[in-house]
A = this chain, B = another copy of it.
């Protein structure tokens, strides 16, 4: 069914070594006559020869594979990152294996090992949880690991993420500029760098106007809609003086929206909302969300670049191993100024 190099060689009346070199353009270097080389090529064409990537991988110790592990592929954010990684990788002749860790460290570890066994040349991981030990080990064992989006403090792995601190400060300033002083924060997963940096950016922006950061205004344990909903509900009763929410993810914001509806608080009249993370059709939402958009494509592209660079073993360690990509504020209609009562 599939034709092998030796069949090509036989048909051309040469040895496999000559066939291989002819087809790989090494003819000159190995003193193979033009006549022979073209005879081989013709034979290859006629037989529809396609070299086995598996065999080459084994021989060359190069699989041309990149592994991508995300927590939830159905989440547009991760889907977009995967897409842009896939496109970048493909441009360099690589293919990507994507794996979905279902937000569980346990799965993440299993999948990572599976990919390691498949000898992917690099891994791009949007990690789950707050542990990076397993990732460091893999990196140490020889498969370069690049962290995307969810990175860790004090972690020497290559990483690319958004300018969370700056972005969060921008978001907060949108609120404070409208007079908001009591701002509820619907946070994501505590302990992750994005979350911590956003908190710190938020506090920073508050400080600028002389407001102290109040930890009791922060709630949430995940980037999910459920966490956003629960936290918002709780905060709305605990702190009735809250005039605005800063949600750390789109799902968090959606949860907040639902909570506001259930509590019959009108957005943006009774309650302003700003969210980190944009989402498709955010402008067509019942309340068009003002958001801090991350440049997903750029994140994916940079991650792919770092990964591939590491894969080919560019020893130039001078290369930046850490990238923070800029965010952009998208002003829509979920913020109003506080009413003076």
Chain B residues positioned under 8 Å from A270 (CB to CB): none
Q: Known contacts A52-B119, A54-B57, A286-B285: does B73 contact A99 (CB below 8 Å)?
A: no
Q: Known contacts A79-B74, A98-B82: does B284 contact A51 (CB below 8 Å)?
A: no
Chain B residues positioned under 8 Å from A99 (CB to CB): 86, 90, 95
Copies per complex of this chain: 2
A226 within 8 Å of B (CB atoms): no
Chain B residue with the shortest CB-CB distance to A48: B141
Interface contact A73-B95, CB-CB below 8 Å: no
Chain B residues positioned under 8 Å from A72 (CB to CB): 83
A100 within 8 Å of B (CB atoms): yes
For chain A, the count of residues having a C-beta within 8 Å of the partner chain is: 50
Interface contact A142-B2, CB-CB below 8 Å: yes
A114 within 8 Å of B (CB atoms): yes
**A 146-159 to B, binary, CB cutoff 8 A, 1 in contact else 0:** 00000000000000
A63 within 8 Å of B (CB atoms): yes
A53 within 8 Å of B (CB atoms): yes
- Complex interface residues of chain A between 285 and 318 (CB less than 8 A to chain B): 285-286, 288
- Give A73 to B115 CA distance when docked, in angstroms: 21
Given A53-B119, A73-B79, A95-B114, 10 other A-B residues pairs in contact with their CB atoms under 8 A: A50-B116, A50-B117, A54-B118, A54-B119, A65-B97, A74-B80, A83-B100, A87-B100, A90-B111, A97-B98
